[in-house]
């Protein structure tokens, strides 16, 4: 991780194209050990932009990886950052105040905290055997991870996929297993829905973890957890399943958190 490669996007005033150029240069500088070339922009995000990158031969066990570049909170859609960010956990009191007040220093620190959270969550969950992208590297405003997709393009979001009732039942069961692994690691996703799950190689993969909360943090983990299961059930009920997300949430929470 090289601090001198971070680009300050805080000033604003960039066109979409200029921003993309800056982001692509930042990827090439920060991840030069792994990335040879930025191929294309996968999504056109408000909160983060994901780029497909070609890897340096022999450095990574795949020809392509995904680089997720975070925006300054000014560009971000998460209005209610406070729900996830417990500033009392920031050791430096002046920095905690800066984060709460949203000063320039605070915004930069806050952006980096989100990157660190996603990086740490991906590592922890991969180690625990969860179906999340393999993380490779991180920089102050970006995470490099396995690309979920194939030659035809990125895997679709679950929200774009129509499943038969049997496929939906299988996918929902697999997701409950993934959620159990997360709880066993002491983690709640916090923004789980069919938009943050990719359907890849015939099964669901959970992505987008910067807002992950630990169950013993001072925020209300149960409410976020319950909301995650209700959001997930919304999609699966449209695919023909009859579900009891509150019952499933109580059951899982009781088993892993108590």
Ligand X SMILES: Nc1ncnc2c1ncn2[C@@H]1O[C@H](COP(=O)(O)OP(=O)(O)OP(=O)(O)O)[C@@H](O)[C@H]1O
The closest of 225, 209, 13 to 113, measured between CA atoms, is: 209
Q: Angle, nearest 10°, between helix axes 245-256 and 221-238? A: 140
**Binding to ligand X, residues 168-197 (CB under 6 A):** 196
Question: Which among 142, 99, 96 has a CA at the least distance from the CA of 118?
Answer: 142
Residue nearest Mg ion, CB atom distance: 208
* 108 belongs to the binding site for ligand X (CB under 6 A): no
- The answer to whether residue 196 forms part of the interface with Mg ion (CB under 5 A) is yes
User: Is residue 208 a contact point for Mg ion (CB under 5 A)?
Assistant: yes
User: Among all chains, which residue has been given the structure tokens 């069919």?
Assistant: 194
- When CB distances are held under 5 to 8 angstroms depending on the partner's kind, the choice from ligand X, Mg ion, none that residue 148 binds is ligand X
**Which of 44, 83, 111 shows the shortest CA–CA distance to 191?**
83
Catalytic option among 4, 116, 184, 191? 191
137 is catalytic: no
**CA 79 to CA 69: how far, in whole Å?**
18
Minimum Å gap between C-beta 109 and Mg ion is 22
Q: Tokens for 101?
A: 């007040």
Q: What are the residues whose beta carbons fall under 8 Å from the beta carbon of 230, sequence distance 6 or more?
A: 245, 246, 249
Residue span 129-168 as binding mask against ligand X, x where in contact by CB under 6 A, dash where not: ----x-----------xxxxx----xx-x-----------
Which residues are marked as active site? Answer: 191
In the complex, which residues of this chain contact ligand X (CB under 6 A)? 42-43, 45-48, 50, 66, 68, 133, 145-149, 154-155, 157, 196, 207-208
Give the interface with Mg ion as residue ranges (CB under 5 A).
Answer: 196, 208
């Amino acid at each position: 991780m090289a601090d001198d490669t971070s680009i300050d996007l805080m000033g604003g005033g960039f066109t979409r194209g200029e921003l993309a150029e800056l982001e692509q240069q930042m990827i090439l500088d920060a991840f030069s050990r792994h990335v040879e070339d930025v191929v294309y922009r996968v999504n056109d995000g408000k909160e983060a932009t994901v780029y497909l990158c070609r890897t340096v031969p022999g450095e990574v066990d795949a020809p392509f990886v995904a680089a997720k570049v975070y925006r300054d909170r000014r560009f971000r859609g998460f209005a209610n950052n406070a729900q996830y960010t417990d500033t009392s956990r920031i050791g430096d009191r002046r920095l905690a105040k800066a984060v709460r007040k949203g000063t320039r220093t605070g915004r930069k620190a806050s952006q980096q905290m989100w990157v660190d959270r996603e990086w740490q969550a991906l590592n922890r969950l991969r180690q625990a055997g969860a179906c999340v992208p393999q993380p490779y590297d991180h920089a102050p405003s970006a995470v490099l991870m396995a690309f979920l997709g194939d030659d035809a393009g990125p895997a679709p979001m679950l929200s774009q996929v129509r499943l038969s009732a049997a496929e939906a039942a299988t996918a929902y069961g697999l997701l409950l297993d993934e959620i159990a692994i997360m709880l066993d690691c002491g983690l709640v996703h916090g923004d789980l829905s069919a938009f943050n799950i990719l359907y890849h190689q015939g099964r669901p993969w959970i992505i987008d973890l910067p807002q992950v909360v630990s169950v013993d943090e001072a925020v209300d983990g149960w409410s976020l957890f319950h909301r995650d299961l209700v959001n997930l059930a919304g999609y699966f009920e449209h695919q023909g399943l009859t579900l009891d997300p509150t019952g499933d949430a109580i059951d899982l929470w009781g088993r892993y958190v108590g």
